[in-house]
């Protein structure tokens, strides 16, 4: 996740802070950010494992990265991944950034995230 969010991309939304009890199940399964959308996952406490895949149907990870307290990771548009919370006290949120001319459809979280079930 050594990706940089382009300087002209605009912050479009922030999620609430989540923990092991409140994290949306969609984040724990295969999903991606939509076209023209980057996600920046910030860990405030504990640690999150980011697991990336080459395609929607791959089951063997292409990358695994541990994001620890005080750090963040950036997920590029349309890259299939999932996360795991690694500690009981993990607490994190996600900020989304979209291209200036991106046409985002849907509501709430669904506006920036796609799951394999769609």
Flag whether 112 is in a domain: no
Cα angle 37, 39, 45 (rounded to 5 degrees) comes to 170
Flag whether 6 is in a domain: no
Its domain, for residue 58, covers: 11-99
Q: What is the CATH number of the domain that holds 19?
A: 2.60.120.10
Flag whether 44 is in a domain: yes
Flag whether 107 is in a domain: no
Q: What is the pLDDT of residue 74?
A: 95
Q: What is the pLDDT of residues 57-82, one digit of tens each?
A: 898 999 999 999 999 999 999 999 99
Strands (E), the chain: 10-14, 31-33, 37-45, 47-53, 63-68, 72-75, 80-85, 91-98, 113-115
Q: What is the pLDDT of residue 116?
A: 61
Flag whether 23 is in a domain: yes
Flag whether 70 is in a domain: yes
pLDDT exceeds cutoff 60 at 13:
yes
* Tally of structural domains, the chain: 1
Flag whether 114 is in a domain: no
């Amino acid at each position: 996740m050594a990706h940089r969010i382009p300087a002209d991309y605009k912050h479009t939304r922030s999620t609430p802070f989540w923990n092991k009890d409140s994290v949306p199940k969609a984040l724990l399964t295969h999903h991606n950010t939509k076209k023209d959308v980057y996600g920046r996952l910030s860990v405030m406490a504990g640690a999150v494992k980011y697991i990336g895949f080459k395609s929607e149907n791959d089951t063997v990870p292409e990358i695994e990265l541990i994001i620890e307290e005080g750090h963040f990771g950036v997920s590029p548009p349309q890259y299939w991944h999932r996360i795991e919370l690694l500690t009981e006290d993990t607490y994190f949120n996600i900020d989304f950034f979209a291209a200036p001319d991106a046409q985002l459809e849907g509501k709430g979280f669904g506006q920036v995230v796609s799951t394999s079930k769609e």
